[in-house]
A and B are shown apart, each in its own frame.
Chain A
Amino acid sequence: MTAHTLPAKTVPAVDDSRPARRRGNRSGWLFASPALLVLVALTVVPTLYLLVSSFRRVELFGGQSEFVGLSNFAAVLTDPEILSSLLATLVFVVVAVSLEMVLGLGLAIPLSAKVRGSGPAAALMLLPFAVAPAVSALLFRQLVNPNYGWVDHYLGALGVIPADLDWLGRPATAWLTVLGLDVWQWTPFVALILMAGLQSLSPEPLEAAAIDGASRWQAFRHVTLPMLTPFLGIALVLRTIQAVKTFDSFQVLTRGGPGDSTEIVNLAIYRVALQSFRIGAAAAVGLLLLVLLLALTPVLLRLVGRRGDNEEA
């Protein structure tokens, strides 16, 4: 990580390699700059725009916008709907990702066993990932339809749920539905990362543990799990980032309802910005979200960046 900050002098380079080094530097910039420009234009520039407009009252359709100081932030941080959307996001991310990690680990173990059918099983596993989230949310909405939905019909016939349960009509069951959708869509991703991890572990430590008389649980707890930690870390950080970015499934399935019980922060920004056109307030919320996510960046760089980097060492 620190290599790029070392002054050139400390590199024991032969004199005549310096022009080549400088040329290498120049072609590096030349080759990298188109991608960097696009990325700056779509991340840094929007952030600056948010920063500026979060301190202003922005008039979209003509009219003058004016500097209003911190009043957008004050309005946002005292708005019960915005605060509850931040809380809803936190709860959603924690609950969904925990469920996916636990289920993913549980599925990865049989999935990594070398038995007949493990190939097709892994392929089938990834199927939910292929379904566009907007489409799967739409399908889930039909499945829990109280009049014709398969879930209501078959579970109702079995007596598991009361007949004609309106899943999306009550906060508790609406949450169950969006969580079910997220777990359905993303547990396979976790399971397949952990499966790859389990298959890459060397068998010797486990054999040694077995010879030492460790029970299966002890071997799993004290040998397999520690060796699997990097993979658990990668799955956890990637899923957390993706979960914070979730929009499609909520927008299609519940639209934040009933009431605003399932309104996560992305829906709140969307509503404030593109339906109420309170750009300054939306910018302030967006900025808050961005700051919260930035706190995760070092974790991403450590877990994912370093592993992707290890060939260079």
Chain B
Amino acid sequence: MANRKISAWLGQFVLWAWLLVSLIPVVFMVVTSLKPPGVATSVPPSWSFRPTLDNYAKVLTGGGTGQAFAPLVLNSVIVTVGATILTMLLAVPAAYALSLREFRPRRFLSSWILSTYMFPPMVSVVPLFILAGNLGLFDTYPILIVPYAAINLPIAVWILRSSILQIPYALQEAAMLDGLSRWGILRRVLWPLLVPSVATAAILTAILSWNEFLLALSLTRQDAKTAPVGIMEFTGMFGTDWGLLTAASTVIVAPIVVLTLILRRRIVSGLTFGAVK
């Protein structure tokens, strides 16, 4: 029994040690962003300083060296909101179709949609780059929004489909007997029951779109550039302004951290396509 207690205690110790060490990059980010200029890169690292929000003001307005960060954050918001809305508009009806017993290819199509998760975004970068050039869509919002929706569709469709399948089918049949159309069933019967899953899928889509880097790096230059790409400019050949860099990082990371902490369980479940509850 004593043995059991010791190993349980040891387990907790290891767990909390891991958590504390894994917090270091986040602590570094937040602490450095609050340091006044000159203190940020002091050696040894300074722990007693007067916290200031100067870095945030400078970063957002571009008062420092480079360009203002606020427009890039706005681009990120537009692209994220656009991608989330588009994903949901496509995924909710698709998930409903894939739960219909009369829809014969439903199993094949569900599997195919899931298997597109395999598709490496890097493979689509070259065709998208050329397509964007030909259609004049390079450096615009749609060239990010539509691919982001495609990237997130497998997860969104599977989350929604598995929660539709949990709703008793008799409910749909009863509504059908009452003369409701398919659209009516989706809107009036299923939708109210689906709201929590739609929220999960939407938030996951938003997180993954907000954090996306490869397509944003390859398909935008200035007008539609998003924050994770723009942040790279704070590190240059001529040294890095840590205060500005970490303030910009905090601006990118903070909203996602809040969402993640609130919805931890749903996020893990969603990222496994609903396979883990």
Query: Which residues of A approach B to under 8 Å, CB–CB?
Result: 1, 3-4, 8, 20-25, 27-32, 34-36, 38-39, 41-43, 45-47, 49-50, 53, 60, 103, 106-107, 109-111, 113, 115, 117, 121-136, 138-143, 147-148, 150, 153, 157, 184, 188-189, 192-193, 196-197, 200, 216, 231, 234, 238, 241, 244-245, 247-248, 251-252, 266, 269-270, 273-274, 279, 282-283, 286-287, 289-290, 293-294, 296-297, 300-301, 303-305, 307-309, 311-312
> A33 vs B199: C-alpha distance in the bound complex, in angstroms?
23
Q: Is the CB of B153 within 8 A of A38?
A: yes
> A123 vs B24: C-alpha distance in the bound complex, in angstroms?
16
Q: Is the CB of B130 within 8 A of A60?
A: yes
CB neighbours of B123 from chain A (8 A): 46-47, 50, 269, 286-287, 289-290
Cβ contact of A27, chosen from B98, B100, B115, B242, cutoff 8 A: B100
CB neighbours of A216 from chain B (8 A): 3-4, 7
Q: Is the CB of A304 within 8 A of B28?
A: no
Q: Is the CB of A132 within 8 A of B108?
A: no
> A208 vs B137: C-alpha distance in the bound complex, in angstroms?
64
Q: Is the CB of B28 within 8 A of A139?
A: yes
Q: Would you give the shortest CB distance from B219 to chain A, in whole angstroms?
A: 10
Q: Any chain A CB within 8 A of the CB of B16?
A: yes
Q: List 6 A-B contacts (CB under 8 A).
A: A28-B98, A107-B18, A121-B19, A132-B256, A134-B213, A248-B213
Q: Would you give the shortest CB distance from B139 to chain A, in whole angstroms?
A: 14
User: A35-B157, A193-B268 are known contacts. Are A21 and B16 too (CB-CB below 8 A)?
Assistant: no
Q: Would you give the shortest CB distance from B210 to chain A, in whole angstroms?
A: 7
- Of all chain B residues, which has the CB nearest A122? B264
User: A193-B276, A290-B119 are known contacts. Are A32 and B153 too (CB-CB below 8 A)?
Assistant: no
Q: Is the CB of A135 within 8 A of B272?
A: no
CB neighbours of B111 from chain A (8 A): 1, 301, 305
Cβ contact of A301, chosen from B4, B114, B261, cutoff 8 A: B114
Cβ contact of B126, chosen from A24, A29, A286, cutoff 8 A: A286
> A221 vs B268: C-alpha distance in the bound complex, in angstroms?
26
Interface size of B in residues (CB-CB distance below 8 Å)? 110
> A245 vs B120: C-alpha distance in the bound complex, in angstroms?
6
Q: Any chain A CB within 8 A of the CB of B136?
A: no
Q: Any chain A CB within 8 A of the CB of B44?
A: yes
- Of all chain B residues, which has the CB nearest A13? B102
CB neighbours of B82 from chain A (8 A): none
CB neighbours of B213 from chain A (8 A): 132-134, 247-248, 251-252
CB neighbours of A32 from chain B (8 A): 93-94, 97-98, 103, 109
Q: Would you give the shortest CB distance from A19 to chain B, in whole angstroms?
A: 11
Stretch at the interface among B54-62, B67-75, B245-253: B245-253
User: A20-B102, A43-B119, A290-B119 are known contacts. Are A27 and B150 too (CB-CB below 8 A)?
Assistant: no
Q: Is the CB of B127 within 8 A of A49?
A: yes
User: A46-B123, A130-B260, A269-B122 are known contacts. Are A28 and B103 too (CB-CB below 8 A)?
Assistant: yes
CB neighbours of A29 from chain B (8 A): 97, 103
Query: Which residues of B approach A to under 8 Å, CB–CB?
Result: 3-4, 7-8, 11-12, 14-16, 18-19, 22-26, 28-29, 41-45, 89-91, 93-94, 96-98, 100-111, 113-130, 146-147, 149-151, 153, 157-158, 161-162, 165-166, 182, 186, 207, 210-211, 213-214, 217-218, 228-229, 231-232, 235, 240, 242, 245-246, 249, 252-253, 256-257, 259-261, 264, 267-269, 271-277
Cβ contact of B257, chosen from A125, A127, A269, A308, cutoff 8 A: A127
Q: Would you give the shortest CB distance from A122 to chain B, in whole angstroms?
A: 6
> A210 vs B165: C-alpha distance in the bound complex, in angstroms?
38
Cβ contact of A283, chosen from B97, B120, B126, cutoff 8 A: B126
> A50 vs B146: C-alpha distance in the bound complex, in angstroms?
20
CB neighbours of A311 from chain B (8 A): 162, 165-166
CB neighbours of A157 from chain B (8 A): 44
User: A135-B228, A283-B126, A301-B115 are known contacts. Are A140 and B272 too (CB-CB below 8 A)?
Assistant: no
> A192 vs B232: C-alpha distance in the bound complex, in angstroms?
31
CB neighbours of B109 from chain A (8 A): 32, 36
> A115 vs B164: C-alpha distance in the bound complex, in angstroms?
35
Q: Is the CB of B228 within 8 A of A296?
A: no
Beyond A32-B109, A216-B4, 12 additional contacts (C-beta under 8 Å) are A20-B102, A25-B103, A107-B15, A111-B15, A130-B261, A142-B240, A143-B25, A148-B42, A153-B44, A251-B217, A305-B273, A308-B158
Cβ contact of B228, chosen from A43, A132, A234, A294, cutoff 8 A: A132
User: A39-B150, A123-B264 are known contacts. Are A131 and B231 too (CB-CB below 8 A)?
Assistant: no
Q: Is the CB of A140 within 8 A of B4?
A: no
